[in-house]
Amino acid sequence: MQPDAPGGDDPDARRVLGMPKPGFFQELRRHHVFRMAATYAVVGWLIIQVVAIIFPLMQFPAWLARTIVVLVLVGFPIALVLAWAFQAPRGEARASASMRRRSLRIGFTLGAVGVLVAVLGGVVWWYFGPISHTLRGVDAETAQASLEDNAPVNPKSIAVLPLSVLGGGTQNNYLGQGISEELLNALSRVPDLEVIGRTSSFRFRDNQPGARAIGRELGVRNLLSGELQRSGDDLRIDVELDDTLNGVVLWSGQYDEKMGNLFALEDTISNAVVDALQVKLGDIDRRNLVFKGTSNPQAHDLYLQGTRLSWHTDEASLDKALALFEQSIAMDPNYAAAWAGMARAYINLADVYRAPLNVLPAMRGAAEKAVALNPKLAQGHLLLGYVAMSYGLDYPKAKRELELAVKLRPSLAEAHAVLGLYLLRIDKDPAAARKQMQRAEILDPLNPWFPRWEAYAAIAQGKEADAMKLAQRVDKIDPDFAYNGDAVAMVDGAFGHWQACVDRYTVQHAPVSLSSPQLAICEAHVGQTAQARAKLEKLEADAKQRYVDRTYIAAIQAALDDKNAAMADLEQADQDRSAHMISLWINPWYRPLHGDPAFEALLARIRTGSRAPAQAGSSGGS
């Protein structure tokens, strides 16, 4: 039928002639609604794709991208209704009142269908849309933090992943990790660059689960990764620098080199990264970005083996690391990094497996030797500062060394964190301490130590909500992390929720760390004295066989209201040079002793940097 034929597009003519009224879909076709829906869908999809690709490159805020997508979805039902209203066929204006009412009902139906389609589209986008601009897979805490910060990722930030080792099994894994760590150390010296710490970066292997996901997890813009092949002294290294927001490879290179020229190769790679990211070196000599610590390849290799083991926490690995560092130093006595590695291994052994007094001379001597051989070695200054603060009670020297470590390596997360401990324990400034610890958490976001230490500072401020949030972050990062006891139980006990502390262990089955008195302390405070005394007796029996930090035993005795015994063990801990002595004033475990004249005198002595004279037969451990 031609358009102008009787009854063609005139509804009244159809009624008069007895012809059937057009169906719903016919009406939509006559009003060009399908054409409008298809056109709008294509244009809307193009807009969303442009937003997903361009906005990350321009570093526009995520809320703006979400707003545009929402507007596109909201506009869909509006476009359908407008198409129905304004794309009417000829003759529609002469429609009867009943037909106009029918047309109105169809318009409302069309709007409702459009809203439903938009909602479904929004759900699909929420769960399957561009990951950079949705909250999919992000927990409430992270989402809230993102909304509060709304800050773009630092374009001058980078994470260095451990090199994947091809062939040779796992025997060369230490080399891939060691090279990556030395690259990380070199780049973290650059003041214009934010470098993610080893603990966080080395959680990821073989660039899994992909550059974008790793960048989102670490809050970092750039990712350095690669592969290593070794055949005797011959090395082949393939590396690439990726932009984590768009997946673009910014730079890549392949290098063939001898083990003896590894430092030069690391310098070449580090400088290539600096050039690719266009960062300023400040007063750093680009020819010496990587410290060339030794000219002896075998000494370097032994050092890299020892470094990998020194990051372990078991006694056997730490002892083996010490032996490797000693072998490296025997081959090159002027190898500063090896001396620093030795100091670190001794620090990790002290207070856990050894009485600090017994290893203090070697620990301090190794740290001093490291900074004497290389005054620009930030790790050496960090270790020397920690020894001066925790064991030597030389507070001015400790602060000086820690501040110098931060200056020499602005991205050294440990330096910021330990400086924060100094501000908390010695300067008694928890607010300033938290700022340093928060900086450490940015630089090493998957390191559970730093939020735990910040929780100490929040406890000192009396901020229970902050402390609990930080403790829960520790638990999320590493559910098995339990040094000195579970972090959540620690906060519960600090604010007097003793039963919650007990339940954390007995009901929620939080892990119990070696020698930790935390559960016994909480049991004592809820009246479960038999259980608390049983744990106390176990610790005292252990102390006859191995080193046990006497501050742990004193904490249980204080909770059991045996102040004399508690003070005797604290004096022994002081003679052992326990690092926990400098935090007695802040540790909730010792609150039952507050006001006791002997305890207050001990605190005053510690504050002035005085130690009890060391006596022969220091408790356990060699």
User: What is the tally of helices (H) and strands (E) in the chain?
Assistant: 27, 6
**Domain 157-292, classified CATH 3.30.420.40, yes or no:** no
Q: What confidence score (pLDDT) does residue 531 get?
A: 94
pLDDT (average), residues 384-401: 97
pLDDT value at 180 more than 70: yes
Mean pLDDT of the chain: 83
Beta carbons within 8 Å of 53's beta carbon, 6+ residues apart: 246
Residue 154: exposure state from Cβ atoms within 10 A (0-12, 13-18, ≥19): middle
Q: Which residues pair with 255 in a beta bridge?
A: 237
Q: What confidence score (pLDDT) does residue 13 get?
A: 43
Picking from 215, 206, 209, the residue whose alpha carbon sits closest to that of residue 242 is: 215
DSSP 8-state code for residue 93: G
**Structure tokens belonging to residue 274:** 């600096």
Percent of the chain scoring above 90 in pLDDT: 55
pLDDT value at 103 more than 80: no
Of 30-44, 347-361, 499-513, minimum mean pLDDT range: 30-44
pLDDT value at 575 more than 60: yes
Report helix, strand and coil shares of the chain as percent, to nearest 5. Answer: 65, 5, 30
Q: What confidence score (pLDDT) does residue 115 get?
A: 63
Q: What confidence score (pLDDT) does residue 89 get?
A: 55
Instruction: State the angle between helix axes of 563-575 and 550-559 in degrees (0 to 180), rounded to the nearest 10.
Output: 170
Q: What confidence score (pLDDT) does residue 363 get?
A: 97
Query: Which comes out higher in pLDDT, residue 369 or 1?
Result: 369
Q: What confidence score (pLDDT) does residue 27 get?
A: 63
Q: What is the pLDDT of residues 42-60, one digit of tens each?
A: 777 777 777 766 665 555 6
Q: What confidence score (pLDDT) does residue 140 get?
A: 39
Identify whether the C-beta of residue 33 lies closer than 8 Å to the C-beta of residue 87.
yes
Q: What is the pLDDT of residues 441-490, one digit of tens each?
A: 999 999 999 999 999 999 999 999 999 999 999 999 998 887 778 899 99
**128 vs 3: CA distance, rounded Å:** 46
Query: Which comes out higher in pLDDT, residue 41 or 202?
Result: 202
Identify whether the C-beta of residue 198 lies closer than 8 Å to the C-beta of residue 281.
no
pTM (2 decimals)?
Answer: 0.75
Residue 57: exposure state from Cβ atoms within 10 A (0-12, 13-18, ≥19): exposed
Query: Which comes out higher in pLDDT, residue 230 or 17?
Result: 230
Q: Residue 99 CA to chain centroid, in angstroms?
A: 65
Q: Which of 144-158, 402-416, 483-497 has the highest mean pLDDT?
A: 402-416
Q: Which residues pair with 222 in a beta bridge?
A: 158, 243
Residue 169: exposure state from Cβ atoms within 10 A (0-12, 13-18, ≥19): exposed
